[in-house]
Amino acid sequence: MPKAIVIGAGIAGIAASLRLKAQGFEVEVHEANPHTGGKLHALSQDGYRFDLGPSLFTMPQFVEELFALFGEDVTTHFEYIQKEVICNYFWSDGTTFSAKSDKQEYIEELCSTFGESPKKVKAFLNRNKEKYELTAPLFLENSLHKIHTYLNTNTIKSIAQLYKLHIFQSLDKTAKAYFKNTKTVQLVNRYATYNGSNPYKTPGIMSLIPHLEQYYGTFFPKGGMHRISQSLYELGLRQNISYHLNSKVSSILTEKGRAVGIELENGEHRKADLVICNMDVFPTYKQLLATHKAPEKTLAQERSSSALIFYWGIEKSFPNLDLHNIFFSDDYQNEFEHLFDKKSICDDPTVYVNISSKDNPEDAPKNCENWFVMINAPAHYNQDWNALVQKTRVNILRKLSKILNTDIESLIATEYILEPSGIEKNTSSYRGALYGAASNDTMAAFLRHPNFNKKIKNLYHCGGSVHPGGGIPLCMLSAKIVSDLVQHDFNTQ
């Protein structure tokens, strides 16, 4: 039985280990932390439970596929509900908008609230759907770096209709072509943050992201986001995948241009027929492949944004809030100038509040709520984070207290804080960037590191820092691309 070693038990590493196991490989996973899940981790503190990482769950079919590989009933181990409200939006002038999952209701309320044309909204949503259908086979489901990806009718069809994708104009300009209200444009521009990018620079193709929310829906896993990674980890245990926690890899072993295993921090060598690395590609090359030539152009790409997160136990219930809530900045462009140009945080950042206790009451004491309060932050460039955290905390509390007409600080029963340098330390994400490289370039998709190593055979890469990008669905797709590449490569060797 051939053997595969996976470095890192983030969601992509776990998914890759399952797919390789289903192909007949003996699989062992080495994780430096004492827990699996990567950014999909959790914290319990003073009677409150918080999901530490990603808080949005879409496209659950990618989780279900992994259970189906082994003939298991997903509902026995992992359950979720679909949300009727995608997100609640708030502005400082008192405007509110509740984005519904029902398409017709969404259109009607958007037009009623912002005075937009129903015809324009429908055209925008239809174009987003078309963008996804044209690009998914090329940009999301296959390697962009293999010639066979381009030698099929779907790819030829996509290339012939590039003009529909708004690749050569920004997301902001794309939104303004459809909408006249600045708040509607801001709603669209927000989707650039789903891959840590700047809406005033990232290509307009990113408007396909709201299609995923609207068409496929948004969901909440019973037990919280942490259950996504843990249910798959438990599936791996049942399939006899060998997980090694507190097992830090110091280098990837190579012989004659092939990956042949790993060396652990304690000096132990573990041999394998192939290696899959779920670690961020920057530390992968700088630490695990230190004696090999690195693709410096790829590694030098602009980093995506990071996050500053306050986890607050709130001693009050807010009926006007739901699972996902956004409190917009009054000057969105200034916010992104601070993030990407000044590498700082503006005084009026957009604030995202996730409250899992709305759907999982056990996450907070009775009549209380667990608030995951996040703002976009620049990647870690040795800023004075203590000073930035304290200043930003005051600004966030002022903003939320004003819009909700409540003194929020007086309600905080417990607090935990995570900022970019902490994210970098906990997850080995270079500079704490949540999505690896930013997508602020027209050719960003093609500049991401491929899912295979061009210099070292039998070495593959998955996770948010490589193709097709960050976020749970894309990370899981990266694992699928890797498994497809492995299947092809090992059948031809």
Q: Say if residue 112's pLDDT is above 70.
A: yes
Distance (Å) of CA 185 to CA 115, 177, 215 = 12, 9, 20
pLDDT at site 155: 59
What is the spatial distance between Cα 103 and Cα 111, in angstroms, rounded to a whole number? 12
Sign of CA dihedral 274, 278, 284, 287: negative
pLDDT at site 87: 97
Q: Say if residue 491's pLDDT is above 90.
A: no
pLDDT at site 150: 46
Q: Cα-atom radius of gyration of the chain, to the nearest Å?
A: 22
Q: Say if residue 447's pLDDT is above 90.
A: no
Burial class (CB in 10 A: 0-12, 13-18, 19+), 187: buried
Q: Where are the alpha helices (DSSP H) in 179-288?
A: 182-189, 209-211, 226-238, 281-283
Closest CA to 476 of 57, 29, 134: 57
The sheet with strand 96-100 has its strands ordered as 96-100, 85-90, 324-327, 351-354, 369-377, 306-314, 412-418
Average pLDDT (88-108) is 97
Q: How many residues does the chain have?
A: 493
Split at pLDDT 50, 70, 90, the class of 211 is confident
pLDDT at site 161: 65
Could you report the per-residue pLDDT of 186-206, keeping only the tens digit for each? 999 999 999 999 999 999 988
Average pLDDT (269-289) is 98
Q: Say if residue 138's pLDDT is above 70.
A: no
pLDDT at site 213: 87
Residues of the chain with CATH 3.50.50.60: 3-38+63-79+223-298+437-492
Query: CA triplet 411, 417, 420: central angle to 5 degrees?
Result: 145
Residues of the chain with CATH 1.10.405: 105-216
Supply 35's token pair.
């827990």
Could you report the per-residue pLDDT of 319-331, keeping only the tens digit for each? 999 999 999 999 9
CATH of 3-38+63-79+223-298+437-492, one of 3.60.40.10, 3.40.190.10, 3.50.50.60, 3.40.50.20: 3.50.50.60
pLDDT at site 198: 97
CATH of 105-216, one of 3.40.50, 2.40.360, 1.10.405, 1.10.3470: 1.10.405
Compute the CA torsion angle 440, 467, 345, 407 (nearest 10 deg): 130
Average pLDDT for the chain: 94
In this structure, what are the phi and psi dihedrals at residue 30, rounded to the nearest 5 degrees? Answer: -115, 120
Supply 424's token pair.
């970098």
pLDDT at site 94: 97
Average pLDDT (115-133) is 94
Listed in sequence order, the residues at least 6 apart from 487 whose beta carbon sits closer than 8 Å to its beta carbon are: 23
Q: Say if residue 22's pLDDT is above 50.
A: yes
Average pLDDT (335-345) is 98
| Type of residue found at 118 | P
Q: Say if residue 144's pLDDT is above 80.
A: no
What is the spatial distance between Cα 429 and Cα 463, in angstroms, rounded to a whole number? 11
Give percent above pLDDT 70 in the chain: 93
What is the spatial distance between Cα 264 and Cα 273, in angstroms, rounded to a whole number? 17
